[in-house]
């Protein structure tokens, strides 16, 4: 019990910081024009990296992806049992995933010959217990980083460990190759990573008592909706 209390005190977050974190998270997790441009750039870079078997391009693409944000927003929605936030986050996340798969498919299908596509890195995109553990650690790191402004500079590095976009890019490439084994493996890894990130994220938001700012969540969602409609 003393250890739990020590950890709680060490990661105590002021109400004002919680409000700021919620505002920013809802804003950056909205699949608007800027979000989709970053997502497309990320997916296309990663797709080229997978096709050419270039790990540096894959890592570079993972550094700019915004796909981690709606996953954290989903974790927040679960933690405070806000169905409106959950529906919004999961809806935007699902749409973003479809955009990622389609864009990767189009790039692989129409800009590369089948013989140009290397399958060595694609073969590594398969569900393994180690990836689930990594996803959990990434979920913990991403959530703590998000609610502590002084650690925000580390978030892109956390995004590299969160295996979200490479499996989606692999799914698009698999469709272009009509390889259903690769497709199943990539989607299974993606699902494993999503669950692995959401669970610790929701647990940490709950542990830090983010239900205190549930009203702020509702206000932030309404403001974002007005911004999109305006």
pLDDT digits (tens, 9 = 90+) for 159-201: 666 789 999 999 999 998 888 888 999 999 999 999 999 999 9
pLDDT digits (tens, 9 = 90+) for 135-151: 998 888 888 888 877 66
- Give yes or no for residue 10 having a pLDDT over 90: no
Confidence category of residue 20, pLDDT binned at 50, 70, 90: confident
* Top-confidence residue, 38 or 157: 38
The confidence score (pLDDT) of residue 230 equals 67
Q: Are 100 and 165 in contact (CB under 8 A)?
A: yes
pLDDT, the chain, mean? 85
Please give the pLDDT value at position 44: 94
Q: Which of 41-50, 61-70, 159-168 bottoms out in mean pLDDT, i.e. has the lowest? A: 159-168
């Amino acid at each position: 019990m003393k250890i739990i209390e020590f950890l709680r005190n060490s990661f105590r977050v002021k109400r004002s910081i919680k409000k700021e974190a919620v505002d920013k998270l809802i804003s950056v997790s909205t699949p608007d024009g800027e979000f989709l441009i970053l997502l497309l750039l990320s997916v296309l870079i990663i797709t080229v990296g997978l096709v050419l078997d270039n790990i540096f391009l894959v890592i570079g693409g993972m550094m700019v992806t915004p796909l981690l944000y709606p996953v954290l927003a989903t974790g927040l929605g679960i933690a405070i049992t806000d169905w409106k936030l959950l529906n919004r986050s999961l809806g935007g996340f699902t749409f973003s995933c479809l955009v990622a798969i389609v864009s990767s498919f189009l790039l692989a299908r129409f800009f590369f010959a089948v013989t140009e596509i290397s399958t060595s890195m694609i073969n590594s995109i398969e569900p393994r217990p180690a990836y689930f553990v990594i996803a959990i650690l990434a979920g913990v790191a991403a959530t703590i980083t998000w609610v502590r402004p002084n650690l925000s500079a580390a978030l892109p590095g956390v995004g590299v460990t969160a295996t979200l976009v490479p499996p989606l890019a692999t799914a698009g490439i698999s469709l272009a190759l009509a390889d259903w084994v690769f497709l199943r493996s990539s989607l299974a890894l993606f699902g494993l990573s999503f669950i692995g990130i959401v669970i610790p994220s929701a647990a940490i938001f709950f542990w830090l008592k983010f239900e205190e700012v549930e009203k702020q969540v509702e206000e932030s969602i309404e403001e974002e909706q007005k911004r999109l409609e305006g």
